[in-house]
Amino acid sequence: MALLAALIVFALIAPVFGPPDKIYANGISAHGLPLPFGSADHLLGTDSVGRDMLARLAYGGRTTLEFTFISNITSIGLGAIVGIAAGFLGGVIEMVLMRITEIFLSVPTVISGLALASVLGQGVFGVVVVVTALYWAWTARVVYGETLALRKRPFVEAAIAQGVPSATIMRRHILPHLSSLLFVIAALNGAAVVAIGAGLSYLGAGVQPPTPEWGAMVNDGQNALQYMPHEVLEPLICIILTVLAFVLIGEGIARRGAVSLRRSWLDI
């Protein structure tokens, strides 16, 4: 939680570090190379056109955190609803929903992503919709599998036998058991969402330059991996910290939640 707060604060105070798109005359060395980590004027170095990495990272955080949060919530929300409904209700609903899921899993990312983006336009909104469209199916598939297992648990069967409405069972009995799984998925998807966002930028459909964005910064820096690794490492560390924050929050919830008063019977 503290980690996430720190990242958000870092993004919020971005203007302190100066403009993200200013190209500094001294931002490139005499050999035409970016400045490395720890340079006097640019603490985190510069990128390949001579812009301050620190400012770009801070501003990039705004964009990246924004679309990562939103699209994680939307894609997991949709995926969880579909997965639980299909797994719990079964029958025709299950068949239809899971086949739709398969369709979404089969259409190649580049095509569906670009097609959607060309309809929706560029920018954060487009990225959110595309990521949601691409990732809900994956979540649904995993949640569906878990729900199937949960459905046969005694407490669920007991609730069904008592005639508790399906919606209530799904909400009260199934969803809580899935909460830690959903956070795991959120953490796992977090990195992928950033990568998809960067991929879309590369294909001309995501966030547009010079707006900084961590994923795109990693992409841009990959050419410099051998001689100026800071161009990749710095945004990468930011992404890792974000994903880590998700993981830790997920664990925190799991520890606190009633469901996960877990212990291993093996260790008794």
Partner 1 sequence: MELDEHRDGEGSAGLTRRGLLQAAGLGAGALYLAGCGGTSQKLVSNSKQVKVASGIPGPPAVGGRRGGQITIGWEAEGNSMDPVIGYNLTSWDALCNCITAPPLVFGASGDGPYPNAAEHITASEHNSAYTVRFRPGVRFQHGRAVTAADYVYSWERVLDPKLASWASSYLYPIEGAEEVFKGKAKSIKGVKVVDPMTVRIQLHEPDLTFPNILAQPYMAAVPREVVQRYGKDFPHHVVSTGPFMLSNYNSAAQTCVFTANRKYLWSGLPYIDKVNYRWGASAQTELLQLEHGNIQSIGEGIGASLVPQVSAQPSLQKFVVRFPLPAVLWIGLNCKRAPFTDVRVRQALNYAVNRSQLGRVTYGTGEPWGLPFPKTLPGFPRKATQYPYDPARAKSLLRAAGAEKLSFTLTSTTQDPYPNIAQVLQQQFRAVGVQMSIDTVSSNAYNTATENKNFTAAPTEWYQVQPTALDILTSNYTTGASSNYWNYSDHRVDALANDALQAPTTSRSNAYLAQAEVLIARDAPGIFLEALNFVDGRSPDLENFHYNVFYGTYYDRLWT
Partner 2 sequence: MARYLGTRLGLGVLTVFCVVLLTFVLMFVVPGDPARTIAGPRATPQVLALVRSNLHLNQSVVAQLGNYVVGMLHGDLGVSYVQDQPVTSLIMGRLPATIELGLAGLFLELVLGGTLGVWDGLRTRRSRALAVVNVGFLSVPTFSLAFLLLLLFGYELNLFPIDGGTGGTRIVLPALTLGLFGMPYYANVVRDAMQETLAAPYTRTAVAKGLPRSQVLRRHVLRNALSPALTMAGLDFAILLSGVVFVETVFGWPGIGQLQTQAFYNVDRPVLMGTVVVAAILVVVATLAIDLLRMLIDPRTRLATR
**How far, CA to CA in Å, does 170 sit from each of 37, 72, 82?**
51, 21, 11
User: By C-alpha distance, which of 89, 102, 187, 88 is closest to 146?
Assistant: 88
**83 touches 150 (CB < 8 A):** no
**20 touches 55 (CB < 8 A):** yes
* String marking each residue 156-175 x if it binds partner 2 according to CB under 8 A: --------------------
Tell the smallest beta-carbon distance from residue 60 to partner 1 (Å): 14
Cis check for the bond before 36: say yes or no (omega within 30 of 0).
no
* String marking each residue 223-252 x if it binds partner 1 according to CB under 8 A: xxxxxx------------------------
Could you say whether residue 122 binds partner 1 (CB under 8 A)? yes
**How far, CA to CA in Å, does 196 sit from each of 32, 80, 95, 136, 219?**
31, 20, 29, 14, 11
Task: Point out which span in 3-11, 32-40, 55-63, 73-81 binds partner 1 (CB under 8 A).
Answer: 32-40
Rounded to an integer, what distance in angstroms lies between the CA atom of residue 47 and that of residue 202? 17
Q: Which one, 27 or 86, has the nearer CB to partner 2?
A: 86
SS3 of 235, please?
Answer: helix
* String marking each residue 236-255 x if it binds partner 2 according to CB under 8 A: x--xx--xx--xx--x----
**Using CB atoms within 10 A of its CB, is residue 15 exposed (0-12), middle (13-18) or buried (19+)?**
exposed
Interface residue list for partner 1 (CB under 8 A): 21-23, 25, 28, 31-34, 48-50, 114, 118, 122, 201-205, 208-210, 220, 222-228
Interface residue list for partner 2 (CB under 8 A): 90, 95, 98-99, 102-103, 105-108, 110-112, 114-115, 118-119, 138, 141-142, 145-146, 148-149, 151-153, 180-181, 184, 187-188, 191, 194-195, 198, 218-219, 222, 225-226, 232, 236, 239-240, 243-244, 247-248, 251, 262-268
